Chains A and B, each alone.
Chain A
Amino acid sequence: MRQQSLRIVLRLLAAIGGGYAVAAGLAALTAVILFVTGGLPRSEAVILASMLAFIFYLALLLWAFAERSLLRLCSMLVAAGVVSWGAAIGLMRLVGGS
């Protein structure tokens, strides 16, 4: 019983906190890619990615509660978070900040 409540708390943290961080990372990466590749002006890229962020978060939330393995959930979230944030920040550095 105790272990089960702990698992639920962990899952809530992973879904709400982790899902948010990954959604923000994916959106930031989308904005940076659109901007860096010259697809869109900077403000346009930011707005498009910001609107998509809510859809990313929704999908991540639903998946976080559907995924049966808590371990797989957490490791995927960490991996996606590191990759998206790393790539977004790296790409911004590459083109020389603002």
Chain B
Amino acid sequence: MEPTFRASMNWLHTWTGVVLGGLLFAIFWMGTLSVFDREIDRWMAPATRLVVPDDSLPAEKFRPAIEAAAAAGATMWTIVFPEERQPVYRENYRSKDGFVLRFLDPVTGAALPDPGTLAGTRFIFPFHYSLNLRVWDIGYWLVGIAGMAMLVLCVSGVVIHRKIFTEFFTFRAEKKPRRLILDLHNVTGVLGLPFHFMISLSGLIIFFSIYFPSVWQLPFDGKRELFNRETWGNYSRPKADQAAPLASLDDMVAEARRLWAGEEPFYMRVTNPGDAAAVVQIGRSYRDVVTMRVETLFFDAPSGTLLSRFETAPVVTAQRFISGLHFIQFQHWTLRWIYFALGLVGCVLIATGYLFWLESRRRKHTQLGLRGVSIVDGLTIGSVTGIIAATLSFFVANRLLPADATVLGAGRASLEMWVFYLVWLATFAHAWMRPHRAWIEQCWAIAALAVAAVVLNGITTGDHLGRSLLDSRLQAVGGMDLLLLIGAAVAALTALKLEYRKPDPVRARQHA
């Protein structure tokens, strides 16, 4: 649309970034935290700070639970087995009274008390891919738009900056702030480019059936059931409406281990429990491979004989590999930290993009009396420091709310979320009301909240750093406390630096 390709890409890069940067930052921030979602779970649900024993419980132990679920009218009962990062059994089914989710002790199999929090895996992680807006899949679509925008930004960014190799080594810390911000944007952009492109594309590919439904609907004549069966091997058969007892679950699990050369099951599901046509489904674990493989065994529940064995075909397996690159469900601590670091690099990239836009227009907009800069200023502050402060408030609220807290009918877990959303909204209001102080004040708020979270964790659970760093059971808790303290230090240093920087005449005039 502009005279040259490069100018067009510049226009596209600028506008995509300014319009969608806030949304992108939220997704990157929550995605970065999701790398450690289960560690956040341990921190926020102290009753689950447990260790998985070497010997797993016999599957027969769950027979009473399955019978109870069947009596409650459940047509499907599922249990996910514990692993190092998630040391509890997760049992779920949908009864006549609604959805039931319980966490079970890995040693005794007894139900743990309701944690009263959605924590990492049920708030932060779904926020990352759905913004927790489930109506009409709006959240998924917004995240999809942001994902496509990130791909557009990656390509157009490369086109604008032709001197990629030089810019890899260019960081002029002694130069003016605007030059420094651009250098930081370029360095993080170039350094993180392969990761950012891969993570955005793989994120989109995970939800291909939501984003491009017509592609499967046309060849499958709109029959989702058929598509799922051919692709993911969903086996099902109608209910017999005749009661029949369940055969030995231990035998079925042993058979699964034998067929998978000793590898462990990941979950077990009973469909139509108690019925003569009930099916026991066992899925293979993928904790040692990148591919989130779909390898499933289906047993006839009354007899325990194998009905069907499913493994994905090559292209579907490739899709599961790409999904695995995004989800990193495999056990690899070094890579996990690299993902975390590159996620933060992405956050810096987006934030510096905004700052560069602001700094290069501040003078002109002030002279012409345009409002663009002050609007984007507030948007940036709320999107960057605001969501960080809101997340930390979520952690602090988690340690302060009593177990039986209710306000206006909302339970503890909902109250934590309300704290998050209200604080986030408040940071935008604060940013537009006190533009010249907002960065500094929100940095101080982040530092204070992070320290408060660490102190409160120590007081309310007794697992303070002196203890958690020495106990392998509390690794996740100690790690999170340490990161919170590092974050607090960075925020406090930033606040000090901003407080004592040389006064900028344009800024001063703008806010006069």
Contacts and interface: CB of A to CB of B under 8 A. Distances in A.
B215 A43 contact: no
Interface string B208-239: 11011011101111010011001100000000
B316 A24 contact: no
A54 B215 contact: no
Chain B contact residues, majority secondary structure = helix
A31 interface: yes
Contact of A51 (B5, B12, B322): B322
Contacts, number: 107
Chain A contact residues, majority secondary structure = helix
B132 interface: no
A77 interface: no
A31 B148 contact: no
Given A43-B313, A44-B313, A44-B315, A53 B219 contact: no
A62 B12 CA distance: 8
A58 interface: yes
Interface stretch (B71-79, B149-157, B266-274, B493-501): B149-157
B220 A58 contact: no
A53 B230 contact: no
Interface size range on A against B: 35 or more
Interface string A61-76: 1100111101000000
Interface residues of B, number: 39
Contact of A66 (B9, B215, B318): B9
B193 interface: no
Interface in B264-316: 313-316
Given A53-B208, A98-B221, A43 B230 contact: yes
A23 B9 CA distance: 20
Interface pairs A-B: 3 shortest CB-CB: A98-B221, A50-B208, A43-B230
Interface of A: 11, 23-24, 27-28, 31-32, 35, 40-51, 53-54, 57-58, 61-62, 65-68, 70, 88-89, 92, 97-98
